[in-house]
Structure 1
Amino acid sequence: MAAVAAGLRHAQQGGDRRSIGQSARLVIAFFDASALIYLIEGNEPFAGRVRRELAAVSQAHPNLGTAVSRLSWLECRVGPIKHDNAAALALFDAFFTRPDLLWIELDRDVVELATAIRVRHGLRTPDALQAASCLQLGADHLLLTGDASFKRVHGLKVTVLA
C-alpha cells in the first residue's frame, strides 16, 4: 500500500498512476464510512465481508491502495466520541494515521461534483460527497460501502457489503 503515496505524487505531477511500480495497475480501495465501521468495530457478518473483499482485490491487485475522505474521518469518530468509547476511537485513529492512507479532501472540485451527483442521482449530501471523493481517484478505484444507493452513480465501481 505504500504505492498509494507514490501514485498520488506521480498523478499530481501529471503522470499516469498505472505506470507506478512494476507493470501492475494501482487500484485504490475507497472506504465509505459504513465499510470502515464494519471493519474496525468488527460488526459481523459485515466485517467478514469487508475482509474477504479486500483479500480478493489485493490478490488480484498486489499494489492495492486505500483512500478515505475527510467525511469518513468525521463519520467514523462520532459514535465512539458520543458513547465515550476510547478503545473504539483509538482503533479508528490508528487507521486514520496510517502513512499509506490516501486522503481525499472536500475541496471545490469535490463539492461541485457532489452537487451534480446529488441533482442527477438523488443521493443524500454525505453520499454524494463520498461518491465525488471516490471519483477523484480516476478509473482504477473500488468503492467499499454498505449502501446500495451508490450504484446509481455512473462511473463508480461499487462493492456493496451489506
Structure 2
Amino acid sequence: MGMSLADQIPDGATVLIDTNPIIYLFEGHPLVAPFEPIFAAVDAGRIQALVTPVTLSEVVTGPLKAGKEALAERYRQAICAGNGWSLREIDADIAVLAARLRIRHRLRLPDAIQVAVAVHEGCHALVTHDRDFHGLTDLLVLGVKTPGQ
C-alpha cells in the first residue's frame, strides 16, 4: 500500500483544508477516501486543520440553498468549534498577498485567498481536490494528482 496523504504531513503541522474535501466528508461522498487519513490525523490531534471564511461560505451554501438551516449550522459548528480545527479570518495583509498570488498564478480570487491564508499562516500544505492549484509553487498541494506527478 502506498503512502497516504496524511503520511506526507509531519506531526504538529498545520494544513489548510480546501472546500471539496470537507464537503466530501460531510456528505459521505466516495471521493473522501484519500482525505480520510488527514481528517483522522486532525481528530487524533496529530495535525491542525485551518479553514478560511471562503471555505465556510462554500460548505454551507448547499444546505442553505436546500433550506436546511440546521444542517448548515452543524457544518458551521464542525468547522469552527475547535477540536483541531480553526477558522482564520482574512485581514489586509492576507488580502494583499492574495492579490499578489492571484496575479502570479492566475488564480480565481477565492483560490488566491485560500493560498494566501496557507502561506501567511505557515501551513505545511494545502489539502484540496481542486486542479486549479496544480502549478502552485508557494506551498505543498496534497490531494489531486496532476500530469507529471
**Deviation readout 1:60-90 (Å, 9 max, x if unpaired):** x963111101111111111110111346424
Q: Percent identity?
A: 27
Is there any run of 5+ residues in structure 2 with no aligned partner, and where? Answer: 1-9
Shift in Å, 1:116: 0.8
> What TM-score results when the alignment is normalised by the length of structure 2?
0.77
| Aligned equivalents of 2:70, 2:27: Cα separation in 1 | 10
Q: Is the 8 A contact 2:94 2:117 kept in 1?
A: yes
Instruction: Give the aligned CA root-mean-square deviation in angstroms.
Output: 2.4
> Is 2:32 aligned against 1:47?
yes
Q: Is the 8 A contact 1:35 1:161 kept in 2?
A: no
Q: Which residue of 2 aligns with 1:156?
A: 139
**Deviation readout 1:44-64 (Å, 9 max, x if unpaired):** 1x1122103445xx39x9631
Q: How many residues align?
A: 134
> Is 2:65 aligned against 1:82?
yes
Is there any run of 5+ residues in structure 1 with no aligned partner, and where? Answer: 1-23
Q: Which residue of 2 aligns with 1:117?
A: 101
> What letter matches 2:97 in structure 1?
L
Q: Which residue of 2 aligns with 1:63?
A: 46
